[in-house]
Amino acid sequence: MANDLFEKAVFIGLGLEKKAKEVLDELEKIAKAGGEGAVTPEGERLSARQVLENRVVEDGVKALKEFLSVIHGAKEKLEEEVASSSGKIREKMHIASQDDIDVIKEMARVAREKVDRLEKRVDDMQAKINKGN
């Protein structure tokens, strides 16, 4: 699983490298066309450097989101595997689960109630016998 996470991180890095090359090629075209960059929604012209910085930040954020998604997926997969493995180990070692313990506690409670009722009946019967003698 760690190997899978590493491979995904490498692919994300390779994607960033490719994107950076594309941005640099585009900036080179902008520079050859007169040095003007993009225009903001407010109508401001950005320099080629500002365009590059914006693209690098956008691509960095995108890569981070992808990486966090990969990490989140790996975490969920790890949690599933740990739960599955711990269940298998518990079964092999014949360790009771919480549900098993809860059932046993309920059975013990019911048994205590029955014993208490039987003891009361025995006491009542002994009292009757003693009155008869």
| Start-to-end C-alpha separation, the chain | 81
- The 10s digit of each residue's pLDDT in 39-86 is 666 667 777 677 777 777 787 788 778 878 888 888 888 888 888 888
Note whether 61 and 71 are same-domain residues.
yes
Note whether 111 and 61 are same-domain residues.
no
Mean pLDDT of the chain: 78
Q: Which domain holds residue 109?
A: 96-133
17: amino acid identity, one letter? E
Note whether 79 and 25 are same-domain residues.
yes
Note whether 47 and 103 are same-domain residues.
no
- The 10s digit of each residue's pLDDT in 40-49 is 666 677 776 7
Note whether 71 and 131 are same-domain residues.
no
Q: Please give the tally of structural domains in the chain.
A: 2
Other beta carbons less than 10 A from residue 11's beta carbon: 12
**Does the pTM exceed 0.85?**
no
